[in-house]
Amino acid sequence: MLSGATRWLFVTPAAIFVAVFFGYPVVKNVIMSFQDYTTKTFFTGEAPWVGFANYVSIFTSSVFTTSLINTGLFTIGSIVMQFVIGLGLALFFKRNFPLSAFLRGLLLLPWLLPLIASSAVWKWLLDQDSGALNQFLGIFGVPAVPWLVSPNLALIAVIGVNIWLGIPFNTTILYSGLQAVPTELYEAASLDGATGWKAFWHITWPSIRSVVSVVIILGVVYTLKVVDLILGLTGGGPANSTQTLATNAYHQSFINFQFGIGAAVSNVLIVVSFVFAMIYLAISRKAVDE
């Protein structure tokens, strides 16, 4: 009646698909990172073995160091602010005022837009000469700020836009976490005199801690991957001031056509991602077991 073979047919296509489109690329990237793989390879079919030369070349290049630092700043800055603002909004919407559900729903809009459309409108909002932000600041006599064209400001501007993008996701997940905290706990605590901050630290925070770790680790993993936003806003410039590991990998492979070096940068990115992935898996499995 129930043959094992038919059952395997349910999962086999997906397994093959994942093997071809994730397994193969990951393995292929490792191999390419040890090869001199360039456009020439496509014509000659030859990709000479170069050992660790690609890694030596990226670790000694200043752009890589810049990318690494920027990736750290971009990720930490985005995650901290997204989380703090997201939690603030989730607590705010939990107060269930008229229209709160409707407003909370609309809040998802920025999260659903194509990233490149968001990049386009932010590039326009942050335009130095006629962008809306500088027009607005001009009302208060602030001179035009070169948000995306100054090497000192561009990374901050890009982080700001990424925070805007991440707020809806953080708010939604944290809100659902807050919903799961039984209201009776608050009512009982208020009898003991714990309200406001006290209630937050002693009831809310311990209750949502596992949701918090999921949101933060998913946020880190997604933020490490960001390419669209940066390419759209600054292209990694000015003067590599917004170059991250992900955009650097793109540049090496698809602008310089140094696929071997691009693969090496990708592998560094993958190692960083996997460290966080492992933390995430450990936490989510623990959550499942509990």
Partner 1 sequence: MTVSIPRAQARVRAATTTNPRKPKSKARSIPLTIVGIIILAIMVFPVYWMVNTSLQATAGAATATWFPFSPTFAGYQAAFSQQGQNFLSSMIIALSTVVVTLAIATPAAYGLARFKMRGTRPLLLILLITQMVPTIVVANALYTLFNDVGLLNSYVGLILADSAVQVPFAILLMRAFMESLPPSLVEAALVDGAGDFRAFVSIVIPISRNAIVTAALFTFLGAWGDFLIALTLTSTDAVRPITLGIYNYIGSNVTDWGPVMATSVLASLPAAVLLLFAQKYIAAGALGGAVK
Site for partner 1 in 31-90 (CB under 8 A): 32, 37, 41-42, 89
Segment interacting with partner 1, rule: CB under 8 A, options 49-57, 61-69, 150-158, 162-170: 162-170
Decide whether 81 or 203 has the Cβ nearer to partner 1: 203
Q: Which of 61, 63, 111, 149: binder of partner 1 (CB under 8 A)?
A: 111
Decide whether 52 or 182 has the Cβ nearer to partner 1: 182
Q: Is 106 in the site for partner 1 (CB under 8 A)?
A: yes
Q: Is 93 in the site for partner 1 (CB under 8 A)?
A: yes
Tell the smallest beta-carbon distance from residue 164 to partner 1 (Å): 7
Decide whether 87 or 173 has the Cβ nearer to partner 1: 173
The H-assigned helical ranges of 126-255 are 132-139, 154-179, 183-191, 196-199, 205-225, 228-233, 245-250
Contacts of range 79-84, beta carbons closer than 8 Å, 24 or more positions apart = 79/166, 79/216, 79/219, 79/220, 79/223, 81/159, 81/163, 82/162, 82/163, 82/166, 82/167, 82/169, 82/170, 82/219, 83/170, 83/212, 83/215, 83/216, 83/219
Decide whether 41 or 57 has the Cβ nearer to partner 1: 41
Tell the smallest beta-carbon distance from residue 204 to partner 1 (Å): 11
Name which of 83, 61, 60, 64 is nearest 72 in CA terms: 64
Tokens of 46: 């030859």
Other CB atoms within a 10 A radius of the CB of residue 189 amount to: 16
Residue 108 CA, distance from chain mean position: 16
Decide whether 72 or 182 has the Cβ nearer to partner 1: 182
Q: Which of 46, 168, 236, 290: binder of partner 1 (CB under 8 A)?
A: 168
Size of the site for partner 1 (CB under 8 A): 115
Q: Is 200 in the site for partner 1 (CB under 8 A)?
A: no
Residues 86 and 219 sit within 8 Å (Cβ to Cβ): no
Decide whether 171 or 241 has the Cβ nearer to partner 1: 171
Residues 165 and 118 sit within 8 Å (Cβ to Cβ): yes
Name which of 116, 99, 222, 95 is nearest 169 in CA terms: 222
Q: How many CA atoms does the CB half-sphere of 259 hold within 13 Å? A: 17
Q: Which of 191, 197, 289, 290: binder of partner 1 (CB under 8 A)?
A: 191
Tokens of 108: 């998802």
- Scanning residues 114 to 143, which ones bind partner 1 (CB under 8 A)? 114-125, 130, 132, 135
Tell the smallest beta-carbon distance from residue 267 to partner 1 (Å): 8
Q: Which of 69, 76, 80, 108: binder of partner 1 (CB under 8 A)?
A: 108
Q: Which residues contact 229 (CB under 8 A, 6 or more apart)?
A: 115, 118, 119, 158, 161, 162, 165
Q: Is 180 in the site for partner 1 (CB under 8 A)?
A: no
- Scanning residues 220 to 259, which ones bind partner 1 (CB under 8 A)? 221, 224-225, 227-228, 231-232, 235, 246, 249-250, 253-254, 259
